[in-house]
Amino acid sequence: MAGLAHELAGEERPKPLQHTPHYKRYLAILLICSLGIIFLAYPMARSDYYERISRRMFWHAMDYHMQMAGQRCDVVVFGDSTGLTGIDPDVLRQQTGLSACVLSVPYLALSTTGTLVLDRFLAHSPAPRVIVFANEARHLHAPRFDEEDGVIDGWLLVDRIETPLQATKFFLKHPRYSVVFMEGVWQQVFTLSVAGGIDLSERTYRQDMDTLRAHSGFFPLLKLESPEQVCELKMDPPVDDAEYLPSLRARYENAATKVLLYVSPVRACDANVPAYQAVAARLHLRPPAVYSPTEFADPWHLGQAAATKNSIEVAREIQTLLENGSGR
């Protein structure tokens, strides 16, 4: 009756409300913006500023080694991080009379970029007399994805050293690890941990770069972990490649430059010590020195005092190589 009354009065009946799907637009905008912010991890990590506000020494070391091209070094140390923290160029210089520098990077950076840091250095620097490839006893093979810990180090170096197109291709080829990388980048920004968070003053970066500059790319480690912590980590048995050393010599050795493959010291508490020695013998390398857990800063890296002792051994290997004209 009410509707009839409206019609009789010449009035129009109110139209029912039309519910437009605005919420779908808002949801789409929200998702796009969220994804955009997440993917900002890549250009952010590529920037120099992100590097400078980080507190991670190994990142700073990679950054410094990328800038070393053009230096004159009679001895160049390359390989995984056992060389970065375990071979002191000052000791090599004192023992051999040769200038030396360290370009070693974390193993996960080797697994993503291979010898790119070394190759760029060699392309813009005088030829060294010796290239020392210093590797942990389980890394006597071409670098590969056989570890997950610290994957962010490798992805960061790819992001910073490759062209944007090459880096994008790499990230798309490894989507799961790339997501881990994005998470790690943002984790550093938002973490509440003082040790792992950002340093807006850039003091940590400047201090690390000063240390690396003063030691020609070597970074001495103070004692970090107890012997119990050093021995706690159980490592997988080594996997070696008989063609690794010949491939290095074929690529880098010539009339001016010799190649030395050096096996870094291992922990006395490592159950794989006999296996490491067997691998070295099979590859005709000097067996890794066995050091007390008290001489390690962590399960992989030597403390500063032990690094000096190790550097003296490396110097002897270099002298033998130059005197005999060939390595072991």
Q: The pTM is what?
A: 0.84
Predicted local confidence at residue 310, as pLDDT: 97
CA dihedral of residues 29, 171, 104, 262 (deg, nearest 10): 150
What pLDDT score was predicted for residue 94?
96
Helix (H) or strand (E) segment spanning residue 290: strand 290-291
Rounded alpha-carbon distances, angstroms, from residue 200 to 33, 157, 203: 26, 21, 8
Q: Looking at residue 35, what is its pLDDT?
A: 54
Structure tokens at 203: 């003091």
Closest CA to 302 of 231, 198, 223: 223
Q: Which of the four CATH numbers 3.40.720, 3.40.50, 1.25.40, 1.10.3470 does domain 56-146+199-324 have?
A: 3.40.50
In eight-state DSSP terms, residue 179 is H
- Identify the three-state secondary structure at position 133: strand
If DSSP codes are grouped into helix, strand and coil, which group holds residue 141? coil
Which residues in the chain land under pLDDT 50? 1-9, 17, 327
For residue 317, give both structure tokens.
């290997």
- The CB-side HSE value for 172 (13 A sphere, CA atoms) comes to 6
pLDDT computed for residue 286 by the predictor:
93
